[in-house]
Amino acid sequence: MGAAWLLDDGSPLVLPPNAAAQVEPLPLPDPSQPGSYTVQTLFYGSGQDRRRAEYGAEVDLVTGPVDGSALVERWSGLRTAYWGFGPEMLPLNGRVWYPEGKGPFPLVLIAHGNHMMEDFSDPGYAYLGELLASRGFILVSVDENFLNLSLFSDALVISSLKEENDLRGWLLLEHLRVWRDWNAIPDNPFYQKVDLDNVALIGHSRGGEAVAVAAAFNNLPYYPDDATVRFDYGFDIRSLVAIAPIDGTYKPAGRETALENVNYLVLHGAHDMDVISFAGARQYARVRFTDGGDWFKAGLYVYGANHGQFNTSWGRKDLFEPLMRVFNLQQLMPAGQQEHIAEVYISAFLEATLRGESGYRPLFRDHRRAREWLPDTIYISQYEDATTRLVSTYQEDIDVATTTLPGGRQTGENLAVWREQLVKAKWGDMDNHAAYLGWDADASATMARYAIRLPERGLTLTQNSVLVFALADANEDPTPETKDEGQKGPREPMDLTVEVVDGAGEVARLPLSHFAFLQPQLEGRIGKAAFMSPLPVSEVVFQHFEFPLAAFVAGNPAFDPAGLAQVRLVFDRTRAGVVALDDVGFRD
């Protein structure tokens, strides 16, 4: 009986209440559909690879090695024996999908993450390569398998490579250097076919952190951990995509990796059995826009998606046997659906950021605009762009009454919970602070409210401005002392009222559900039994909300957006709950 239970894949997924109402779909072509270009493929590499013919004797373009020894520790002799090279002679290997045509075409590199190095990971993104090349992008799946885990070469994982994600990111820049050279060599097949003004990096798992490291290194003159190593890159990396990334395994000079002036997209699954928490939300919070460019960042959290099914070589099993026998694999969405989500979002993101197809932007603000393109599951979207002026980020100090933009005030009335704190994750934290606001209509005779009085300076608002904020279910009981354990049950989507008040006292109101209901926390119960999931099964995942000030004017024509003085959240539509509020501001 016990053996049969272990061999069984578990029980199927049951969808919880879905807060997403239908909205008007985007009137654009499905970005996951193949384009008009004929797709060609080739391989480049050392020409001496002893494990794979495509990078060995059958290679199409030969590349020279690079010395990465300054960026890696604990490279073993067993690893050298397996591959035939050490860290001072690292190969630049890549499998390429490219469109047949004159070009120039935007260049996209994708980096896999950590996996058993003998089970090669770089072929697993062929589905993206075929799609993107047909749509006019050059896609390169970069081989970094020689940096991955190995039971043999790492002496049963006792001496695995240490903090190698800086090396993973640096290697991407070295690949870009090769492409820059090829674009200028007349007898190279890619001569003048590469649009080096529009470069994107995609990374999965450790590769997801590596692309952020690469973008940070790209603008530095020296390696931050050893300034005897000079950098001279300066590529036009406009966009980054992180697929189920880790965060914080490498910290340049002991600091978190911060990014400026780059488009950023992160995808993560609620049923990820490897990177348990939404770690990419940490990097998302550290992306800033400072130069006035047309940048944006977006996130998508997907119920039923795991870690490995974004790579066809990895599949359903995020960890190794026999450990996977205790995980519930049956609840995962089909691999084809998970790949399709990646196709829709990554293709639309690259069209929007490398080709200026701004019509796809609304997809990132609200996933429901793509409901005809996406599999039927629950999604949570995050979004911010460079035109957003933030009033309250809750990062600046320990005074809950002050706004981030100087001169504003924050007040609460009849709240059962009011605090600002570091947002906790299933594992660790989200490297981000938020306001936690709780109410219980049964415990208070007066309505609970939270108000932000806007600064008198620093904001110029019009009827075309849009109120934006990030909100999440905190999955807390605001008054636990008044409840019995037996009172708990399924949690429904939340609603509240958003009020705006101008300087003359005119008030306009809209329900939160005018844009969307608030999704209850999504539980990813990854074990077959509860005791097999020792970590929390859910975490705070912020959901983007936006309200055009014109919509408030439609409700009260006397309301003056230019004189907006106060924004209030009135907790009058759901009887009790606790929410986390972040990044309150206005988009032009």
pLDDT value at residue 154 = 79
Fold type of domain 391-482+492-587: Jelly Rolls (2.60.120)
Q: What pLDDT, in 10s, does the model give residues 252-289?
A: 999 999 999 999 999 999 999 999 999 999 999 999 99
**Is the predicted pLDDT of residue 15 greater than 90, yes or no?**
no
Q: What pLDDT, in 10s, does the model give residues 54-87?
A: 999 999 999 999 999 999 999 999 999 999 999 9
Residue ranges of domains in the chain = 2-386, 391-482+492-587
Q: What pLDDT, in 10s, does the model give residues 96-118?
A: 999 999 999 999 999 999 999 99
pLDDT value at residue 527 = 80
pLDDT value at residue 5 = 53
Q: What pLDDT, in 10s, does the model give residues 475-484?
A: 999 988 776 5
Three-state SS annotation for 110-157: EECCCCECCCCCHHHHHHHHHHHHHCCCEEEEECCHHHCECCCCCCCC
pLDDT value at residue 343 = 98
CA torsion, points 69, 250, 218, 350, in degrees to nearest 10? 120
pLDDT value at residue 525 = 86
pLDDT value at residue 322 = 64
Q: 2-386 and 391-482+492-587: same fold?
A: no
| pLDDT mean across residues, the chain | 94
Q: Is 243 left (phi over 0), alpha (psi -120 to 50) or beta?
A: beta
pLDDT value at residue 260 = 98
Question: Can you tell me which residue has the tokens 């047949």?
Answer: 100
Phi first, then psi: give them for residue 150, nearest 5 degrees.
Answer: -150, 125
Phi first, then psi: give them for residue 390, nearest 5 degrees.
Answer: -85, 135
Tell me the pTM. 0.96
**Is the predicted pLDDT of residue 132 greater than 60, yes or no?**
yes
Question: Can you tell me which residue has the tokens 């101008």?
Answer: 502
pLDDT value at residue 156 = 60
Eight-class DSSP state of 246: -
- For domain 2-386, say whether CATH 3.40.50.300 is its number: no
Q: What pLDDT, in 10s, does the model give residues 139-174?
A: 999 999 999 999 888 776 667 898 899 999 999 999
Q: What pLDDT, in 10s, does the model give residues 169-217?
A: 999 999 999 999 999 999 999 999 999 999 999 999 999 999 999 999 9
pLDDT value at residue 250 = 95
Q: What pLDDT, in 10s, does the model give residues 494-541?
A: 999 999 999 999 999 999 999 999 999 999 888 877 777 778 899 999
Residue spans of alpha helices (H) in 153-197? 165-183
pLDDT value at residue 4 = 62
Question: Can you tell me which residue has the tokens 């806007």?
Answer: 454
Q: What pLDDT, in 10s, does the model give residues 41-58?
A: 999 999 999 999 999 999
CA distances from 120 to 147, 155, 158, 313, 540 (A): 11, 19, 21, 8, 34
**Is the predicted pLDDT of residue 346 greater than 70, yes or no?**
yes
